[in-house]
Amino acid sequence: MEFLELDGSYGEGGGQIVRTALFLSTLLKIPVRIYNIRAKREKPGLKRQHLNIVKLLKRLAKAKVKGDELGSTELEYIPKRLKPGYYEVNFDTAGSITLFFQTILPLSLFIPGETVIKVIGGTDVPKSPTIDWLRFVFLPYVMNIPEFIRIEVLKRGFYPKGGGAVQLSVRSSLEEEVNEVSKIRELFGERINLKRTERGDIKKIHVFSVAHEELRERKVAERQAKGAVEALKELGYPEPEVYRQYAQASSIGTSITVWLEDTMGNILGADNLGKKGKLAEVVGAEAVKKLHEDYSTGATVDTHLADHLVPLMAIFGGSIKVPRFTGHLLTNIWVCEQFFGKIFEVNEKEKIISVK
């Protein structure tokens, strides 16, 4: 068996290499061996979040795997055919559901027939986008590829206990799996638009503020939203549409997601998490500050979105204007080019990344 060899310590050397490699390997049916996994980190090797992805792929793609153990610095992965059906994965921790979906969601777009994936873990946890960012910022870019796709938040999961539940439902028009990029482009190319270097006027701004039910009396969701609305006003943005929600969860927590849409169809977002001792108004204002930092660069995507779109650009082509070149982003491009060869053009001056 011939493997594509990937050095997991390349660039920023994080879990991004594993997540992107598993997506592309499974889609294109290219076996991979990843070594030096997270070698630069304080605790090297595979984390539970990566093992949760592999755990599902063993069933979803009938994958053969070696090295799928906590802390393992080498992983051999041989994917087979994707099988539609119902799947459930329980992290048993507050592991990030959104980072799990960074591999699984784009893969689900190409599974023949109907597939439902229920995941139990963290919906709004540190060091990852919120589930609302995934639903309202990333999902619109890919929702036209399958016949139907929906992400339902069944229960919120905050740090440290997690226990949140999210269900992804996808229905594809494919009767059989397609593994050639040219064929994928032919079938779905008109359904996705990743040519996004032009910006339009702001059409809408949204604020989605969530807090645990026990924080209702203190009006934490309202106060987070208020902090965001006031910060937007100070920066000269239009008045947003505001959504407030209280939720039952195993741990007390809060989150806020802010995103804007422009007349060219671009969506940029940012999020923030509350924590004990931090004013809810500050949590909201900080989310707006993050969004403004990205938007004020002239970018057409936010920092998280650039990471999510790069593997899809490798398949469909396209061009995006990024806020900045992060270690995550450059490493992601490198991983894609191990599969496809030198396909990305990077204009550092204009901050434009493109694939023909």
- For the annotated catalytic residues, the residue numbers are 328
DSSP letter (8 states) at residue 122: B
Integer-rounded Cα radius of gyration of the chain: 20
For helices 16-28 and 303-316, the axis angle rounded to 10 degrees is: 20
Question: Is the separation of the CB atoms in 79 and 57 below 8 Å?
Answer: yes
Q: Which residue reads 């980072």 in tokens? A: 99
Closest of 301, 305, 304, 336 to residue 322, by C-alpha: 301
Rounded to an integer, what distance in angstroms lies between the CA atom of residue 195 and that of residue 185?
Answer: 14
Beta bridge partners of 353: 320, 346
DSSP letter (8 states) at residue 237: P
Rounded to an integer, what distance in angstroms lies between the CA atom of residue 287 and that of residue 259?
Answer: 10
Rounded to an integer, what distance in angstroms lies between the CA atom of residue 43 and that of residue 33?
Answer: 20
Rounded to an integer, what distance in angstroms lies between the CA atom of residue 24 and that of residue 311?
Answer: 8
DSSP letter (8 states) at residue 96: B
DSSP letter (8 states) at residue 213: G
Which distant-in-sequence residues (6+ apart) come within 8 Å of 73 by Cβ?
A: 8, 35, 36, 37, 38, 39, 44, 45, 46
